[in-house]
A = this chain, B = another copy of it.
Amino acid sequence: MRADSIKIVGTGLIGTSLGLALARQGVTAELADTSKANLRLAIEYGAGRESSEEPQLVIVCVPPDLTAEVVAQELRKHPGAIVSDTASVKSEIYSRVLDLAPEHAGRYVGSHPMAGREKSGPGSARADLFFARPWVITSTTESKSDAIDLLKDVALRIGALPISMSPKQHDEAVALVSHLPQLVASALAARLIDGQASQLDLTGQGLRDTTRIAASDPTLWVQILSQNASEVTPLISALRLELQELEQALAGLDQPGALAKVHSLLERGNTGISRIPGKHGGKFVDYQQLTIVIDDSPGSLASLLAFIGDIGVNIEDLKLEHSPGAPIGLVEIQVDPASVELLAKQLVDNGWRIV
């Protein structure tokens, strides 16, 4: 099943990115937004045109607190259409849609593309935002199978990876992999308010990484968390108890077993992190890394990449590790495992240094 006319309601980061991704597949989305400024910007970016036709599929991309109401409106407005949404919580929205528009609920299927940025608005949109990212489709026994198929097709067309779950399974999963980390990062960053500037001058990459998402929008997150409080609360509780035990162990290091407790937490941290699938969805794509030393001169990176390009190897990911002013840089590239040996040999044979 294919949807040829798709309406996107809400042209923020997600809605506009979705429009751009569809445009690349030759589908011109119909766009709607209560903010005329956002709508105009999204259209200028090429995310679609103003809505006019009767759509087959409506995707609601508005903040979580508004989602159920807008979904219900769209279900009524377009009695022939399938309606979905992209909010990052699912159970509560589903039950509110059931309340607001029970007679239309079969045409509603929730979804959640697992993609986003700290920046928001149409100006931050990217056509490849959903590429190779999971797109959770939360169907229930009420959902029409057409509805699920239509949404799956959209996800696949823009390169996302559709995953089916119930709303409850989804909310449990994001409580663990998204909501808990957000709260922990915020709580950790909040501790910095009391830090002296001379202390913060010693900040390294560890603190930067652990707190990066603490820059997220509080208003959006209050909406998300308040709709998923029942799933998040027990996780916070378990983490808090863990910290409490650690605190006791560190406060009584002379007690038997205290050091072992600290060691156990750190070791379980090792185990926990090893369970995260590799980058880019892990199980789907598995690239191999090569690190090459280059001079810090304009053009040295260019000549390395030109060399790799001449061999015909595509670079899937690249990071330059380089301290300003340092005489060398380290280029970390991710390439197809099938080409990595040949590439490494060619590089070394031609005088490049691999570390």
Contact = CB atoms under 8 A, between A and B. Distances in A.
Give the residue among A126, A190, A285 with the most B Cβ atoms within 10 A.
A190
Interface residues of A, number: 133
Interface in A123-145: 126-128, 131-134, 136
Contact of A247 (B240, B266, B274, B276): B240
A275 B207 CA distance: 12
Contacts of A271: 189-190, 193
A61 to B, nearest CB: 18
Interface in A304-328: 304-306, 308-310, 312-320, 322-328
Contact of A181 (B206, B250, B265): B206
Interface stretch (A36-44, A72-80, A211-219): A211-219
A166 to B, nearest CB: 11
Contacts of A283: 201
A163 B148 CA distance: 60
Given A184-B210, A229-B253, A318-B320, 19 more contacts: A133-B323, A173-B202, A176-B191, A176-B195, A186-B266, A188-B239, A189-B270, A190-B242, A192-B272, A192-B273, A209-B212, A211-B269, A211-B273, A222-B259, A222-B266, A240-B244, A302-B305, A303-B306, A318-B318
